[in-house]
Amino acid sequence: MNVIAYSWLAVLLCAALLSGCAGIEPHSSGEFVKSVYFSPLDTFRYERSETGGMQWRDSERSLTEALSERVLSEELAARGFTQVDQSADFYVLAKWQKRLSTHSGFFDHIDGASARITDSRDPDYRPVVRYNLVVEIYQTASDTLFWRADLPNLFDATQYTEDRVVASLRRAIRDFPPRVEKDLSLPNFQ
């Protein structure tokens, strides 16, 4: 092959590699951490929001707690689960932390990988306070954790907005499955 053919081959390989990377979405760390019989889970309750780590302003804390309850409850209801006050099949916790972080992972930031690239090019890039979110779901009968999403370094403390909090919560619950529709005509083996 001649030099022109090798050049075209190199250009095509680079284009294929870059187009493959362009479609990569940030991962959600939401996953089952324990086996659970999922089909009887029909109802939920929002247990509480926890905020910790570095100092929170009162307005941030109350807004974050209210948004956590509202968004997670809406997302679970959209998946077919019914919210109840008592005797729920499972309950949900949201745990927010403000921590000093020296770096964020490539896909951690709520604004996507481009925000991470911009941060690392900044000559003043230094450790900053970032928000971290953990959403946990527990089976009520056994009080055991069965699903968890851990999202570190979502955004810098100076970037706090209602939209970022809502987007973070939706990203955390994104991989939680919908309610299992039961077919009553099938036999019940218990």
What pLDDT tens digit does each residue of the chain (190 aa) get? 566 655 655 555 555 554 444 444 445 567 888 888 888 899 999 999 999 988 999 999 999 999 999 999 999 999 999 999 989 999 999 999 999 876 655 555 555 655 555 555 554 556 788 899 999 999 999 999 999 999 988 888 888 999 999 999 999 999 999 988 776 666 655 5
For residue 20, what pLDDT is reported? 47
169's tokens? 């919560």
- As a whole number of angstroms, the distance between CA 188 and CA 49 comes to 37
In the prediction, which pLDDT does 49 show?
94
Q: What is the pLDDT of residue 13?
A: 58
pLDDT of 128 reads: 83
Number of helices (H), then strands (E), belonging to the chain: the values are 4, 6
Helices 58-78 and 162-173 cross at an angle (nearest 10°) of 40
